[in-house]
Amino acid sequence: MGAVKTKRMPRAVREQQMLDAAVRTFGQRGYMAASMDEIAELAGVSKPLVYLYLNSKEDLFTACIRREAKALTEAVRAGARPGLPADRQLWSGLAAFFTHTARHPDGWAVLHLQARTHGEVFAAEVAAMRTEIVAFVTQLILEAAREAHRDPDLPEREVSGLAEALVGAAEALADWANATPGVTARQSAATLMNFAWAGLGNLMEGRHWTPPDDEAGVGAGEAQTGRTSPVR
């Protein structure tokens, strides 16, 4: 790419090219091993220009995390379709999540592996995104429970726990799907739906799985939330 053409390209466009190159390099090589030389070369610019625009390797990495976090959050929000029945909403949200992580494996590696492995500052960036997604999922589950069950007797605390479990399961499954050749986004979403839906669906109808009472040594003393009808 010639110097003249380089100068004509708007800064915003060039920055996105640098971020594209950086996400790919950080995602595939890891944060430590990735070099600014490699990123500059892949972006088709000089290394000083990368430093001029994005200041340092740390700042470049932070910019990557923020861009990828925003893209993922927007994809999930766009995927969930208010007005659909609860199972369809969950399905379309999960499908959007796994479609995004499958299409952007380097972005997902930056968010879920690299950012969490290389210090508290980067980890905090990702934690902020995760908190937002958990809050969004909590809201979805609460609304669905209210819909299904006029008297919403799923305690808010349990809904928070369910949202954490669902997000944790989705994260783990996305890692696994991206590391396992041939697993499609649709298969990952269907696996999690199969894993989760009947459980959540039954909960929303007020049907809980009831733990046996004759267990020893299981955080004894604290009563369960008191549903009686077993799921199966």
Footprint (CB under 8 A) of its own copies, residues 46-75 = none
Closest distance of CB 216 from its own copies, Å:
10
**Number of residues in the chain:** 232
How many of the chain's residues bind its own copies (CB under 8 A)? 72
3-state secondary structure of 9: coil
In the complex, least distance from residue 156 CB atom to its own copies, rounded to whole angstroms:
11
- Distance (Å, whole) CA 51 – CA 43: 13
- If one asks whether residue 142 binds its own copies (CB under 8 A), the answer comes out as no
Binding to its own copies by residue 104, rule CB under 8 A? Answer: no
**Binding of residue 91 to its own copies (CB under 8 A):** yes
- Kindly identify the residues of this chain, within the stretch 150-189, that bind its own copies according to CB under 8 A: 157-158, 160-162, 164-173, 175-177, 180, 183-189
The residue from 123, 131, 153, 229 that contacts its own copies (CB under 8 A) is 123
Task: Supply the minimum distance, in Å, between the C-beta of residue 50 and its own copies.
Answer: 24
Cβ 208 vs Cβ 231: under 8 Å: yes
Which residues fall within 8 angstroms of residue 116, CB to CB, at 6 or more apart? 122, 123, 126
Backbone dihedral region for residue 206 (phi beyond 0: left; psi -120 to 50: alpha; all else: beta): left
Site string for its own copies, 203-232 (x = CB under 8 A): x----xx-xx--x-xxxxxx-xx-----xx
Going from the C-alpha of 77 to that of each of 70, 146, 188, 212, the distances in angstroms are 11, 20, 18, 38
- Give dist(CA 114, CA 32) in Å, integer: 9
Instruction: Determine which residue in the list 15, 87, 132, 143 makes contact with its own copies, applying CB under 8 A.
Output: 87
